Amino acid sequence: MKLFFHGGGCGDSCCLRVQNLSVKIGTEQILHDVNMHVHCGELVALIGPNGAGKSTFLKAVLGQRDYDGVIAFSAPGQRDRRPRIGYVPQSPTFDPGDPVSVADLFSCCMSKRPAFLGLSKAMRNKVLECLERVHGEDLIDKRVGTLSGGELQRVLLALALEPLPNILILDEPLSGVDVEGMGMLMDMLDEIRKTYDLSILITTHDFSILDKYADQVVLIDHTVLHQGKPQEVLNSEAFANTFHRRGGATV
C-alpha cells in the first residue's frame, strides 16, 4: 500500500487523488482499477448498487483497509502532513433506552474526564460551539437514542467537524432520514463546504439530490463505471445498465 502526501497539483487546492486502487478482502477482489480525483471544496457522490464496494473504498481512503495502488492527498500549507479526515460512518444505531446524551457523546470523544462526572462549563461551551456548526445547539441535552435520523446525522457531522478536517467523508448520510431532513442535511453540507472550503465525499442511493448538490458523481460497481457531472452519469448507459435493468433506482 502506498500513501503519498504532496503540496501543489490541482491548481494548489487540496485534493484526493486515487490511482489504480484495488482492494482484496481474503481472496475476494472487492475493488480494482479505481481512479478518482477530488478537488478542494468539491462534493463528490459515490453511487452504486449494494455490495459495489463504496464503503470499502471509503475505508481505504481512511486508512482502515489495506489496498494496492495510490491514495494521495494534498492540502495547501500541509506539505508532508497527513490531512485531517472527518468521518461519519454508515447508520450507527443507539438504543432509545440508553441514557447517553449528546453532551455525553461529545464528552466521551473530546475529553478524558469520565462522563459520569458531568460536563465542565468550558466543555459544555465547546460542545455548544461544535453543535452550532450544524445548527444543533438545542440537541445538547437530548438522549442520542431518541434523535431522529436527521438529528443524529447532524450530531455525528458536528463530531466529525471537530477538529476541522480537510476532507469530510459520510457513508450514506441520507439513509434513515426523511425527505425534509435530507434537504436540510444537504443544505448544511453545502454551507459547511463553502464556509470551510472542505472536500466532501459521500455515498448515497438518493439520486434526486445529485443534480443540486454534487459537483461530481462516480458510479462504482467494483470499479469505476462512469464519472462526471451528475446529469452525465445519470444519463449514461452504465447507469441504465446498473440500475434500470436491475431495478431499485431512486431518481
Contact set with Mg ion (CB under 5 A): 54-55
Rounded to a whole number of angstroms, the minimum distance from the CB of residue 175 to ligand ADP is 11
The residue among 53 and 86 lying less far from Mg ion, judged by its C-beta, is 53
Rounded to a whole number of angstroms, the minimum distance from the CB of residue 54 to ligand ADP is 3
The residue among 50 and 93 lying less far from ligand ADP, judged by its C-beta, is 50
The residue among 55 and 74 lying less far from ligand ADP, judged by its C-beta, is 55
How far, in Å, are 136, 152, 177, 185 from residue 181 at the CA level? 13, 11, 6, 6
Cell numbers placing 188: 448544511
Please report where in the chains the cell 480537510 appears, as a residue. 166
Q: Give the one entry of ligand ADP, Mg ion, none that residue 92 binds, where binding means its C-beta sits below a cut-off of 5 to 8 angstroms depending on kind.
A: none
Biggest alpha carbon–alpha carbon distance for the chain = 58
The residue among 58 and 192 lying less far from ligand ADP, judged by its C-beta, is 58
Site for ligand ADP in 13-72 (CB under 6 A): 25, 30, 48, 50-56
Number of residues that bind ligand ADP (CB under 6 A): 10
Cell numbers placing 208: 434526486
Rounded to a whole number of angstroms, the minimum distance from the CB of residue 54 to Mg ion is 5
Q: How many CA atoms lie within 13 A of 36 on its CB side?
A: 30
Could you list the residues that contact ligand ADP (CB under 6 A)?
25, 30, 48, 50-56
